[in-house]
């Protein structure tokens, strides 16, 4: 079985500060890992994904994440927060083994950005 | 290329009724998955359809069902609605190793 743990439900940063959202996963097989963002009253938008290629993954809007197998982590970072980054962020894991594209999500983290 | 579309966007029903939600995937995508999002349980997988066949199912009661048509469009049905079925229902279509989500249908059960 696969699972994702996102520590904390709310993170608040100042505009221009570093954003760090933590994600740890559990998987019995090499995982595919994803970060999604959700703005109010909208669906999920993919920020970035890890699919066993480069361990440092760059995504949209200046976000990046590093896959660390030894720590079973896939933390999301952005060097400088912008007001428009305020949203809910979800980490997800999947096997994508051809016959299985089910995503297992973490509980989500709400990011607030202070002016 | 058009994204995933879901209809209706908002729905209000009463307990005991049934509801059908619709999802049109991105053109060329043959896999469609459904998720339920609630404040308490977060995002939970309902089921996945591929080429008109259900190939994966989450841990939901039989009141939740779905189907997929030959054009890959999918519907999900919830019968005998309960208050706890109030949620945002998200549909996602897949190509290889990525899922693309629609805006969701907000279902409110009174």
Q: How far is B16 from chain A (nearest CA, A)?
A: 26
> pLDDT digit of tens for each residue in chain A (115 aa)?
789 999 889 999 999 999 999 999 998 777 889 999 999 888 999 999 998 778 899 999 999 999 999 999 999 999 999 999 999 999 999 876 655 678 999 999 999 999 9
**Which of A35, A22, A31, A44 shows the shortest CA–CA distance to A3?**
A31
Q: Does B102 touch chain A (CB under 8 A)?
A: yes
pLDDT digit string, tens, across residues B46-97 = 999 999 999 889 999 999 999 999 999 999 999 999 999 999 999 999 877 7
Are the beta carbons of B5 and B102 closer than 8 angstroms? yes
What does the pLDDT average to over B11-40?
95
Q: Does B12 touch chain A (CB under 8 A)?
A: no
What does the pLDDT average to over B17-41?
95
**Record: contact A101-B99, CB cut-off 8 A:** yes
Q: What percent of chain B has pLDDT over 70?
A: 99
Region of A111 please: left (phi>0), alpha (psi -120 to 50) or beta. beta
Q: In degrees rounded to 5, what are phi and psi of residue B15?
A: -55, 140
Tell me which residue in B90, B97, B100 faces A96 most closely, judged by beta carbons: B97
Q: What is the pLDDT of residue A96?
A: 65
What is d(CA B17, CA A58) in angstroms, rounded to the nearest whole number?
A: 46
pLDDT at B100 over 60: yes
pLDDT digit string, tens, across residues B73-87 = 999 999 999 999 999
**Which of A113, A97, A47, A98 shows the shortest CA–CA distance to A74?**
A47
Give me the residues of B, 39-98, that contact A with CB < 8 A: 42-45, 48, 50, 55-56, 58, 90, 92, 94, 96-98
Tokens of A90: 């979800």
What is d(CA A113, CA A107) in angstroms, rounded to the nearest whole number?
A: 20
Q: What is the pLDDT of residue A95?
A: 77
Q: What is the pLDDT of residue A97?
A: 61
pLDDT at B8 over 70: yes
**Which of B24, B16, B21 shows the shortest CA–CA distance to B89?**
B21
């Amino acid at each position: 079985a696969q699972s994702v743990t996102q520590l904390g439900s709310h993170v608040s940063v100042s505009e221009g500060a570093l954003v760090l959202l933590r994600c740890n996963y559990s998987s019995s097989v090499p995982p595919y890992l994803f970060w999604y963002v959700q703005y109010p009253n909208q669906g999920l938008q993919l920020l970035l994904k890890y699919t066993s290629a480069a361990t440092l993954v760059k995504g949209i809007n200046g976000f990046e994440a590093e896959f660390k197998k030894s720590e079973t982590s896939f933390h999301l970072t952005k060097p400088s927060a912008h007001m428009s980054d305020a949203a809910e962020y979800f980490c997800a894991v999947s096997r994508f083994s051809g016959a299985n594209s089910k995503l297992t999500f973490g509980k989500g983290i709400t990011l607030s950005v202070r002016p | 290329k058009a994204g995933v579309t879901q209809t209706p966007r908002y729905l209000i029903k009463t307990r005991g009724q049934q509801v059908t939600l619709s999802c049109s995937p991105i053109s060329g995508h043959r896999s469609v998955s459904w998720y339920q999002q609630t404040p308490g349980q977060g995002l939970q997988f309902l089921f996945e359809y591929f080429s008109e066949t259900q190939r994966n199912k989450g841990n939901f009661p039989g009141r939740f069902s779905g189907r997929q048509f030959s054009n890959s469009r999918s519907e999900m049905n919830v019968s005998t609605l309960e208050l706890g079925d109030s949620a945002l229902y998200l549909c996602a279509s897949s190509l290889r190793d990525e899922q693309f989500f629609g805006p969701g249908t907000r279902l409110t059960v009174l």
